A and B are shown apart, each in its own frame.
Chain A
Amino acid sequence: MNVEPVPEEPQRKERRPDGAAFVIAAVLAIIAVVIAWSTATGGNSASYSRIGPNAFPYAIAGVLLVLSIWTAVEAWRGEFPEREAENVGPIIWIVAGLAGQMLLLKTTGFSIATGVLFALTARGFGRGPLWMTVPLGIVISLVIWVVFSKGLQLSLPAGPLENLF
């Protein structure tokens, strides 16, 4: 959910260090190092501008490093907004849907791949059963495919189902 400033939240000074926020700080630091390393090994070309292709990457890496330290400090003080517990299940369903669409798209065509995405997303929101939603999704996607591919000339990957048209 979008996190909004919660005014009624009491300003507790003694918050526990926030483990997840430390992970974010570490990730930021890793990104900074990767940028700097990739830039350093990428070579540089001189030009009249004196600001070459490497200046911005180094500057951004530097700031990210500072932000990483700052994040770590806030994490230590526990200043990150409190998070409500969330379900992991739905996320796995939806990510599986997106990954499924990505992997199926080239082989099975748009409708089947997108039908899988539709059904798994609905499953993530607790709506099933899959044996009903998968065909439903495929039919909806096939209609979309016909409208966009035949009607509007958008090039969408075709598979066995689409080739029937």
Chain B
Amino acid sequence: MRKLLFVLGCAVVVLAGQASAADYKIMAPASPGGGWDQTARAMQTVLQDEKISSNVQVYNVPGAGGTIGLAQFVNNAKGDPSQLIVGGYVMVGAILTNNSPVTLEQVTPIARLTGEYEVVVVPANSDIKDMAGLVEKLKADPGAVSWAGGSAGGVDHITVGLIAKAVGVDPTKINYIAYSGGGEALAAILGGQVTAGISGYGEFESQIKAGSLRIIGVSSDAPIEGIDTATFKDSGVDVVIQNWRMVAAAPGISDEQKAAILADMEKMAKSDAWKKVLADKGWADTFLSGDAFSAELKKDIDSTSVVLKDIGLVK
């Protein structure tokens, strides 16, 4: 009898252990406060509030565009279905420019969560009125068009490279001025120190609304409600790019485990709480999961490695 109780007890413990398999540990491969960290913490709140998971922990491993965290994740989380990592398009570029020993192919992509489109702005008093005007100047003398954006090899720089390539200008000839953090670049554009600025829409939003910056193009596929400008494509520059954020799972998990995580993430993304988080933070819902996301990711990695070579950042 006692033995039976013992066995039962063990079974309960084991079952309890399995029940809590939906616990997640999410790595934000960046410092607290940044975009990836905010995404991870928003996931934590929604997953717990919606009772999708009983216990979610977030931890930060900052450094080198997320590649330090990625390397640690690939090595430590292998085969563990409770481990997740947040990442984004910036990682794609950082892996290439930093010669990272691990790549995104080594993790199990789950879903794209949010995204932001790149916009090009000029100071309000600039003689450039639209994308065509900027392209004209770029073609005439690429060196005379200075672009302010984030760090070299980041999504801003890649977008400029793609624009140059699309209009037939040598991407190695672009005059890209890198600033640390959007704020410093914004000051340079407002002060008329550079010809144009490029960054995510959120960075420039209040200045555009106040009329001190003129927006001349956005990198989305189709015009976006609330952003009063033509897409690059409609202005004859065939560039579509999205600075997305994603969640991925550990390498070496089984298909069932992957499906379970995917189901949890879809439940999260469909919840009202997640919709509210996106609205509050001004993040666009570009949810894409499963094979469609994997294919999109592959495409992004390929096009990025080409353009980074074109700009001359990757040998």
Point out residues on A near B: beta carbons under 8 Å. Answer: 43, 45, 47-48, 155
Contacts and interface: CB of A to CB of B under 8 A. Distances in A.
B59 A155 contact: yes
Contact of A155 (B60, B143, B312, B315): B60
Contact of A48 (B32, B59, B143): B143
Contacts of A155: 32, 59-60
A13 to B, nearest CB: 51
9 contacts: A43-B315, A45-B312, A45-B313, A47-B175, A48-B143, A48-B175, A155-B32, A155-B59, A155-B60
Contacts of A45: 312-313
A65 B175 CA distance: 34
Q: How large is the interface on B (under 10, 10 to 19, 20 to 34, 35 or more residues)?
A: under 10
B161 to A, nearest CB: 14
A43 B313 CA distance: 11
B181 to A, nearest CB: 20
Nearest to B311: A45
Contacts, number: 9
A45 B32 CA distance: 33
Contacts of A47: 175
B148 to A, nearest CB: 14
Interface string B49-75: 000000000011000000000000000
Interface string B12-24: 0000000000000
Nearest to B142: A48
Contacts of B59: 155
Contacts of B312: 45
Contacts of B32: 155
B15 to A, nearest CB: 22
A155 B28 CA distance: 13
Nearest to B57: A155
Contacts of B143: 48
B35 to A, nearest CB: 18
A113 to B, nearest CB: 17
Nearest to A48: B175
A102 B143 CA distance: 49
Contacts of B315: 43
- Which A-B residue pairs are the 3 nearest by beta carbons? A48-B175, A48-B143, A45-B312
Nearest to B315: A43
A48 B32 CA distance: 35
A47 B143 CA distance: 10
A47 B178 CA distance: 12
Nearest to A45: B312
A67 B236 CA distance: 57
A43 B99 CA distance: 14
Interface string B139-159: 000010000000000000000
A66 B256 CA distance: 65
A48 B175 CA distance: 7
B19 to A, nearest CB: 20
A45 B60 CA distance: 33
Contacts of B313: 45
Interface string B278-315: 00000000000000000000000000000000001101
